[in-house]
Homo-oligomer: A and B are copies of this chain.
Amino acid sequence: MALEEGQNGGAEKVAVEVSFKSFKPQLFVEASKANDAVQFYKTAFGAVETCRTTQPKRKADQELPHIVSAQLQLAGSTFVVSGLSDDSASTKAGGTLFAMCLETEDLEAAVTKAVAAGAVAEGGIVEGEGACCCAERVTTVKDPYGFAWQFCSPADECGANVEA
């Protein structure tokens, strides 16, 4: 994270170098319907699933594990379907039903730069929720136009638990 003065007249301007590795829209779906939603995007648009993280089984034995996040590829881009549950980071993502995920090595710098530009940080960094599919650290900012952006640590180990 590099801090320096802006060049174009604004002495107060903060220039932070942030590099983003990927950009993925994330759609939040009620957890019990997330499996169906993933199947729908495969059937309707030909999306291909490349990653899935699930919660451990809970409550009844016959209940399938809920999807935390499934990553889908479509027309050369990637998007994420996440199950909404009361205790997930998703629910804390500002109440919207979608967010934009930006993968970056430096979550703190990304938040600093976004906040300097007018975004509002929503809570701190959450560890180990897999919210953007396999990301280990996630944090959220809300932009001035009401959209949620999630900064996620890179997910290098993605690929397990994929259902064709």
Contacts and interface: CB of A to CB of B under 8 A. Distances in A.
Interface of A: 18, 20-25, 27, 29, 33, 36-37, 40-41, 43-46, 74-79, 97-98, 100, 102-103, 113-114, 116-119, 143-147, 149
Copies assembled: 2
Contacts of A114: 44-45
Contact of A118 (B22, B29, B40, B116): B40
A88 B21 CA distance: 34
Contact of A23 (B29, B76, B98, B147): B76
Contacts of A74: 20, 23, 102
Given A25-B25, A45-B113, 6 more contacts: A20-B75, A21-B75, A23-B74, A40-B143, A43-B117, A44-B143
